[in-house]
Structure 1
Amino acid sequence: MSGKLAVQIAKLLGAGRIVGTGRNPDSIKQVLESGADAVIDLKRSDEEIADSFKKEARKVTISFLIFCGDARQKY
Structure 2
Amino acid sequence: MTTAPVKLLIDEQIEELPEFMAVPSDRVLMVFKGATWEDALHSAELASIENVHAWSRRACLCGEWTITYEVKV
With the length of structure 2 as denominator, give the TM-score of the two structures. Answer: 0.30
- Choose 1 or 2 for highest CA Rg: 2
Higher relative contact order (CA 8 A, sep 6+): 2
With the length of structure 1 as denominator, give the TM-score of the two structures. Answer: 0.30
